[in-house]
Structure 1
Amino acid sequence: MLSLIAALARNHTIGIDNSLPWHLPEDLKYFRKTTSGHAIIMGRKTYESIGRPLPNRHNIVVSRNPDWRAEGVTVVHSIAAALAAAGTEEEVFLIGGATLYREALPMADRLYLTEIDADFSGDAFFPDVPYAQFKELQRDSHQGDDFAYSFVVYERNQPA
């Protein structure tokens, strides 16, 4: 199962200058808890913004540069190769960035979205979700210091 996990503002912003435009510790805890023990797929820029492999996860980095390497991660050159590298993992999480989200959304089985009830300036955006193709499984809403946010899980509708 391919799952996308992302935090996004109302205007679909997910990042600016290779970092998050907000400070939301609860989202980082949610991300850690949700992805721990699973394979995670990320683009090279996302990996470089994190700066290290994330612990307790099989880190798979997609890079178009055939010479790019990093210690402690599996480097591949496509989402298909990343999924193959994840092997028999029951659930694989794609954690960014914007280009990979765009490529993977049509094949995603599940979305774990932290929906932030605010607009932020940014230069990286989550693609428009075809919500008619998904059903909401779970919503956990919170009021933060600066804005409200919800942890929402969507699952792709099965063909009839």
Structure 2
Amino acid sequence: MIIMIAAVAENNALGKNNELVWHLPNDFKRFKELTSHHHIIMGRKTFESFPKPLPNRTHIVITRQEDYKPEGCIIVDTIEKAIAICPNNEDSFIIGGGEIYALGMPLTDIIEITRVHHTFDADTFFPEIKEEDWLLVESESNFKDEKHLYDYTYETYIKR
């Protein structure tokens, strides 16, 4: 299965200047639990936003830069090639950024969203989840606390 995973604000904001604009430790834990030991597909800018490659994951980076060759990554130039590399019998994850999410939306089976209940000034946005294409099958509310400045909800969508 191809699973798209993202943390998205109420206004579909993903981030600004190649960084998240919120900090939700529980969301980071959930991301790690879901994506560890799987293939993760991302754009070059998303990959470069990490201080180092994420452990226990196979990184597939999509870029048009022909000379881009970071160590330990598989480099491709289309989302279709990225998905073709992923094992058919395992979950693989599209992890961003905005352009890659838009390209991957028609190729995705499941969307795992952390909906951050706030709006943010951003320069990168998640594509609209259209009700006619996607069915919300699970929703788990979480409330702000000493480690989380915002309420947030985990949402799982499946393709109709």
Please tell me the TM-score bracket, short chain as reference: over 0.9
* Partner Cα distance (1:44, 1:89) in 2: 26
Q: Sequence identity, in percent?
A: 39
Q: Is the 8 A contact 1:42 1:97 kept in 2?
A: yes
Residue deviations 1:75-127, cap 9 Å, x none? Answer: 11111111122133421100000000011112211000000110011110001
Q: Which amino acid aligns with 1:152?
A: E
Matches within 5 A, 1:16-55: 16-55=16-55
SS in 2 for 1:40: strand
Aligned partners of 1:7, 1:35: CA distance in 2, in Å? 14
TM-score, structure 1 as length reference = 0.94
Between 1:137-146 and 1:38-47, the stretch displaced more is 137-146
More off after superposition, 97-106 vs 135-144: 135-144
Matched to 2:38, the amino acid is H
CA distance in structure 2 between the aligned counterparts of 1:52 and 1:89, rounded to whole angstroms: 28
2:158 to 146, 155, 158: 155
Aligned length: 157
Structure 2: which 5+ residue stretches go unaligned? none
Task: Identify the residue that residue 136 of structure 1 maps to in structure 2.
Answer: 136
How do residues 107-126 of structure 1 correspond to structure 2 at under 5 angstroms? Answer: 107-126=107-126
- Root-mean-square deviation over aligned CA pairs: 1.1
Q: Does 1:56 align with 2:36?
A: no
Q: Letter of the aligned partner of 2:61 in structure 1?
A: V
The structural deviation recorded for 1:51 is 3.2
Residues in 2 aligned to 1:151 and 1:87: alpha-carbon distance in whole angstroms: 26
